[in-house]
Amino acid sequence: MSGAEVRDEDRYGDDLSGQEHTGVTFSRVDLSETTDDGAVFTDCVFRDCRFTLSRHTDAAFLTCTFTGCSFAQAVFTGCKLVGSTFDRCTFDLAVVEGGDWSFVALRRADLSRATFTGARMREADLTGVRAVGATLQGLDLSGAQLSGADLSGADLRGSDLTALDPREVGLAGAQVDGGQAVVLVTALGLRVGPELEP
C-alpha cells in the first residue's frame, strides 16, 4: 500500500507479516496483538494507534512518525526503526531485543518500565528521556543525545556511554560495569591511576 490513509480500523490480532507500506497514514488503528515477521513500513505516520502486546520480528519502520501511540508490552526483535520519531507515546513493559534504532527521536519519552537490550541506537535523540529503573543493556549509544535524561537506577551494563556527560544526566543508583565506570570518571575530568603500594 502506498500513500493511502487508514482510519479507525480494527486490526486486532492480524498477521502483518510480509506487508509493505510507503507513505501511509494510520489514524486510531487498533494493532493490538498483531504479529509481524518482516513487514516494511517506510515514511508512514501512526497517530493514536495501539500496538499493545504486538510482536514484531525482523520488521522495519523506516523514518516513520509515531504520535500518541501505545506500545504497552509490545516486543521488537531484530527490527529496524532507523530515523523514526516518537512523540507522546507510552512504552510500559515494552521490550526491544537487538535491531537498529539509530537516529531515532525519543525526546522526553518515558522508558522507565521498558527493556532495551543489544540494539544499535547511534546518534539517537534521547534528550530528556525518563528511564528510571529501566533495563538498557548492551546498547550502542555512540553519538546519542542524552542531555537532561534521567537514568537513575537503570541497568546500563554493556552500553556505550562515551556520549554521556554525567554532569547533565541523572545517574543515581544506576548499574554500570568497570569499563563504563572509567568512561564516566574520565568524562568528569578525573584521572584513574594505579593504587599506591602500602
pLDDT digits (tens, 9 = 90+) for 168-180: 999 999 999 999 9
Helix or strand holding residue 87 (H, E): strand 85-87
pLDDT on residue 193: 77
pLDDT on residue 2: 67
82, 104 contact by CB (below 8 A) = yes
152, 132 contact by CB (below 8 A) = yes
Residue ranges and CATH numbers for the domains of the chain are 1-97 (2.160.20.80), 101-187 (2.160.20.80)
C-alpha 97/C-alpha 120 separation (Å) is: 10
C-alpha 150/C-alpha 43 separation (Å) is: 30
C-alpha 118/C-alpha 53 separation (Å) is: 21
Q: State which amino acid sits at residue 144.
A: A
pLDDT on residue 36: 95
Residues in the chain: 198
CA 17 to chain centre: 22
Neighbours of 8 (CB within 10 A): 9
The overall longest dimension of the chain from CA atoms, in Å, is 74
Which parts of the chain sit beneath pLDDT 70? Answer: 1-3
pLDDT on residue 46: 98
How does pLDDT run across 89-117, given as a tens digit for each residue?
A: 999 999 999 999 999 999 999 999 999 99
